[in-house]
Amino acid sequence: MNHGHPSQQNFYSSSSTINKRKHRDLSSDSSDLSDADSELQREAWAFVEQQQSASVLRAAANVSPTVTQTALSSPNPWENADNYVADSDDEAESVGSNNESESIDVEFPDMYGVWTEGHETDFTSFLRFPTSKQVSPKLWKKQREKWFADTEAVLPLLIIAVACLETVDIASSCCAAPNCSLVPSFKCYTCAVTVPSLSHFCSTHASGHWWDNHCHRVQDRLDRSPAPLTTPSGRTRSKKIRCCEAARGTGRRVLLHSLTGHEPAQLVTCPNHANGHEMCVVLLRDYGFFPSRVHNTDHAFSFQLVSLGLKLRSLGVAFQVSAEAFFGTDHKDARDAGLYQPYMDAVRQLAVIKHHTHHGTVTPELAEELGIGQTVCPACIGGDEPSGPAAFTMDGFESANKKSTERGGGGSHGSFEFTSVYFKEPAVQDVVAEAKAAKQTSRPKLGCDAQHKAGGVGGLKSVGKDIDMIIHVDCAAHSLVHRVYDVKGGERLVYADDVINWGKETFKSRGFVLGYDVACKELSHLDFYGLLQSIISTILFILFIPAMHVYAHGKDCLSLFSPRFLMGLGLTMDGEGHERVNSWLSRIIGLTQRETFENRRMDIVLFLEFYNWSKIRRLVSWTQEKLLATFAGLAEVKATLGHQWWKVEQAQYDVVVTAMTTLRQQLVERQNKDVPSTKEDLRLQIDQLARSILSMDKHLSRAPGTKMSKRLNGALNSTFLELYKKLDELNAMEPGNPPLTFAQVKAGLTPAAVESSQSDVDSFVRLYFRYCEDLFHHQNYLKNMVGFYERREMEHWRVVKEKVGVCDSRSKEAFMGLRRRRMEVEREHSRLAKEALNILTLMGNMPPCTSRSIWVKSERPFSRKTQC
């Protein structure tokens, strides 16, 4: 038997040993993988899941008056929120999970706007597709097995039915035309799915039906079209579309396309309308076909077709795919048929029009006065008197690059003006570039000891790329994108400077919170170049690092910038919303890498507009879920503390913040500033690798999906391999001591779970205030949402009404109809937010007059400008 090369045998045996050690170490003590509060989390969620939505709300209502009395006696939480720095380890504080992947049953209004408990209409019940959450896995398996069995049984009959639908299956014995008793020989496939009884015609009336209806597919059993109509002299008649009554002549041949068929026509233009503008209006307004070009067009597509194409593009479907679906045949694809480029041009032109109609800027005067329009977060922007701070995060997305023309990328043929509402250029000075030009020798020490590519002072543009990445700025709570930067030459700090300047100017009366994965670098940068003092003297300014990114930093950054420790942000605002945006963009961004500048920007704006308003659609329901989880967490905190609840009632928010600030400062000062020895550095590397292993194993336990599981398992294997190398190297330094194992490292990193009676009461006091911060923020979001739409109705839509009043009657009626539709949608969002506010007041049993100190922004909400 061939056993292979000895080195191969050793490699495979070592890999097998590593895998055995990995599984043994991870499975030896699974309880160690959870945080100190894991048991409390399981109990809290069991508490929620065992009860119906109404019972949970009633339980929360019974707790919240007592819970909020202490908070009501304390000042606004944001008056004492930490600046830059964070509070104690939140891993030991969390009682209720705030993971978005976990949802809670809440009450929702029925189709008539009435709030119901466990009740839904027959129609909504019909629309709801059964999921594994509504039925047990065993029952769901049986239902799917029955579906497969039913499908197999009816399959032969369905094959016959589809064959009849796709062919000239004439069920009637006479022509569908009035007073015609001839035997039908033609079928209109377009009418077959709308008016089946009027879809069969004789040869004479088939020609008339085809003439009267654009792009109807009328064919006989041999797939032949009916004979065209002729003039009395015998000449074939052609359909003519005239720009006006003065148009005469033959005209230009054009192909009209719809979802069901196509047909030729002639566009007849008079000398006064030779530029094609009036013909475009007539084609679209009177006939419902969208021209591919303004002048000398060859193709026009039905409005339903280009609208569907635009929707598919917003969802990330390639133009090649949708064009093939619409126009591909057994003989030619869309490109060979010459329809790919005209179809793409028509969809892009409709995208610009739809953006204006969606935001009400339907005339040039409105676009100049109100701006082009952008879908922003109503809960974060607010109305005339917004409540709470404005919290945003920023992050780079390297996949959103653009290939250079030498590498197959497109060039630049112009720009779409409406994309400027998202894409911005830095309006501040690049102080780093200016210092470099002035040959300044001293440079700031940026951030912590960890090395991060983001925020580099002088990155070089990647080879073969015109644009390296984008940086997008999102609201921290709801992840709606507000600004985008095209980055050339690396993710420099000038973009963060511009975002801070935008926040300082836009939200001066509210305060500005910014989450950035290299906030430590940005803080050092602002301080070194003298920019920090002007910011903190103008506005309350808080920097933090997103929850998952902060673990890649040093211990100082963990204490200073982690949202898990930072008082004032609550538990929901973890700063990782931009990763959800990146996940959405990653599905479609590959389509844009080889496009021209203008097409790339348009597609990104289409993706972001759809993403933003899809988030707004469930903004209120998402807030309700978070509120319900917060009240359940408060109830669990009270149940856990038991007879020690009086300590929470006597606690004050500002005292807790001061104590946590002092503790964090002590943690930072306690760090060893000396260069670690080789042994200490090796042990730090082992601890970091062990943390990565525990984190990946926790993600794997949550069933992340096949693709992600494969990646995590691969990373887990390589990390274990590196860890055991480090362990062997460390143990070789101390041959006389017992060897260090992964189990010992894991035990040292994972805090042991404690019983409720032995828990640190102070941590639950802090957790109580973190939940109060969540209530504070979410109620402010609902208030801001109501105020945003009220101001929009009073200002934006009022101006639209005034401006369109001077248009002609036909245009005015159309514009007012679009305005009415958008206002109805926004009023519904506002109504839902008001109902959620009323329910929140009932749940908390807090009259607005007695709870104003915590729920309503005071005149001077932010008294502390800086705290380091």
In single-letter form, the type of residue at position 755 comes to: E
8 Å CB contact between 86 and 667: no
Lowest mean pLDDT among 112-126, 171-185, 264-278, 462-476: 112-126
Lowest mean pLDDT among 74-78, 89-93, 530-534, 737-741: 89-93
| Residue 806 sits in the same domain as residue 849 | yes
Q: Report how far residue 819's alpha carbon sits from residue 10's, in angstroms, rounded to the nearest whole number.
A: 74
CA separation (Å) from 858 to 80, 388, 542? 13, 10, 19
Q: Residue 473 pLDDT more than 90?
A: yes
**Which residue range(s) make up the domain with 276?**
240-359
| Residue 339 sits in the same domain as residue 408 | no
**pLDDT class of 860 with cuts at 50, 70, 90:** very low
Pick from 485, 503, 505: nearest CA to 495: 485
Pick the more confident residue, 585 or 753.
585
**In this structure, is residue 675 part of a structural domain?**
no
| Residue 353 sits in the same domain as residue 393 | no
Q: Residue 676 pLDDT more than 70?
A: no
8 Å CB contact between 857 and 387: yes
Q: Write down the pLDDT at residue 31.
A: 41
Q: Map residue 750 onto helix, strand or coil.
A: coil
Q: Write down the pLDDT at residue 103.
A: 40
The mean per-residue pLDDT over the stretch 454-474 comes to: 77
Q: Residue 518 pLDDT more than 50?
A: yes
8 Å CB contact between 535 and 497: no
| Residue 352 sits in the same domain as residue 393 | no
DSSP characters for 394-439?
EEEETTS-EE-GGGT--------GGGGGTEE---S--HHHHHHHTT
Lowest mean pLDDT among 21-25, 272-276, 482-486: 21-25
Q: DSSP label at 796?
A: I
Q: Residue 98 pLDDT more than 70?
A: no
| Residue 571 sits in the same domain as residue 513 | yes
Lowest mean pLDDT among 117-131, 462-476, 490-504, 825-839: 117-131
- The label of the residue with tokens 């993600």 reads 699
The mean per-residue pLDDT over the stretch 409-437 comes to: 89
8 Å CB contact between 187 and 175: no
Q: Residue 495 pLDDT more than 60?
A: yes
Domain closes at, from 615, 645, 674? 615
Q: Write down the pLDDT at residue 456.
A: 61
Q: Write down the pLDDT at residue 56.
A: 41
Domain closes at, from 615, 648, 682? 615
Q: Write down the pLDDT at residue 107.
A: 40
The mean per-residue pLDDT over the stretch 243-258 comes to: 87
Pick from 537, 540, 535: nearest CA to 511: 540
Lowest mean pLDDT among 53-67, 735-749, 774-788, 845-859: 845-859
Q: Residue 470 pLDDT more than 90?
A: yes
Q: Write down the pLDDT at residue 543.
A: 93
**pLDDT class of 460 with cuts at 50, 70, 90:** low
Pick the more confident residue, 660 or 301.
301
The mean per-residue pLDDT over the stretch 703-708 comes to: 72
Percent of the chain with pLDDT over 90: 29
Burial of 534 (0-12, 13-18, 19+ CB in 10 A): exposed
In single-letter form, the type of residue at position 763 comes to: S
Domain closes at, from 615, 649, 676? 615
Lowest mean pLDDT among 416-425, 589-598, 848-857: 848-857
**In this structure, is residue 570 part of a structural domain?**
yes
Which helix or strand (DSSP H or E) is residue 581 part of?
helix 577-586
Q: Map residue 83 onto helix, strand or coil.
A: coil
| Residue 448 sits in the same domain as residue 488 | yes
Percent of the chain with pLDDT over 70: 77
Q: Which two tokens stand for residue 785?
A: 């949402």
The mean per-residue pLDDT over the stretch 266-270 comes to: 90
| Residue 271 sits in the same domain as residue 395 | no
The mean per-residue pLDDT over the stretch 734-739 comes to: 86
Over the stretch 276-316, which tens digit does the pLDDT of each residue have? Answer: 898 898 988 888 898 998 888 899 999 989 999 999 999 99
| Residue 396 sits in the same domain as residue 463 | yes
Q: Write down the pLDDT at residue 505.
A: 93
**In this structure, is residue 60 part of a structural domain?**
no
Q: DSSP label at 792?
A: I
| Residue 322 sits in the same domain as residue 443 | no
**pLDDT class of 857 with cuts at 50, 70, 90:** very low
Over the stretch 209-229, which tens digit does the pLDDT of each residue have? Answer: 888 888 888 888 887 888 888
**In this structure, is residue 469 part of a structural domain?**
yes
**pLDDT class of 263 with cuts at 50, 70, 90:** confident
| Rg of the chain taking only CA atoms, in angstroms | 33
| Residue 336 sits in the same domain as residue 441 | no
Over the stretch 776-804, which tens digit does the pLDDT of each residue have? Answer: 999 999 999 999 999 999 999 999 999 98
8 Å CB contact between 464 and 594: no
Q: Report how far residue 297's alpha carbon sits from residue 300's, in angstroms, rounded to the nearest whole number.
A: 8
Pick from 307, 304, 301: nearest CA to 339: 301
The mean per-residue pLDDT over the stretch 845-868 comes to: 33
Q: Residue 731 pLDDT more than 80?
A: yes
Q: Residue 527 pLDDT more than 80?
A: yes
Q: What is the mean pLDDT of the chain?
A: 78
Q: Which residues contact 834 (CB under 8 A, 6 or more apart)?
A: 782, 786
The mean per-residue pLDDT over the stretch 84-97 comes to: 38
The mean per-residue pLDDT over the stretch 98-104 comes to: 41
**In this structure, is residue 667 part of a structural domain?**
no
Pick the more confident residue, 234 or 20.
234
Number of domains making up the chain: 3
The mean per-residue pLDDT over the stretch 234-253 comes to: 84
| Residue 354 sits in the same domain as residue 438 | no
**What is the CA angle 670-671-672, rounded to 5?**
115
Q: Which two tokens stand for residue 844?
A: 């908390």
Q: Report how far residue 510's alpha carbon sits from residue 81's, in angstroms, rounded to the nearest whole number.
A: 13
**In this structure, is residue 861 part of a structural domain?**
no
Over the stretch 613-632, which tens digit does the pLDDT of each residue have? Answer: 999 999 999 999 999 899 99
Please compute, for residue 636, the number of CA atoms within 13 A of its CA located in the half-sphere on the CB side: 26
| Residue 411 sits in the same domain as residue 458 | yes
The mean per-residue pLDDT over the stretch 262-283 comes to: 89
8 Å CB contact between 651 and 70: yes
Q: Write down the pLDDT at residue 750.
A: 61
**In this structure, is residue 463 part of a structural domain?**
yes
- Tell me if the pTM is above 0.85: no
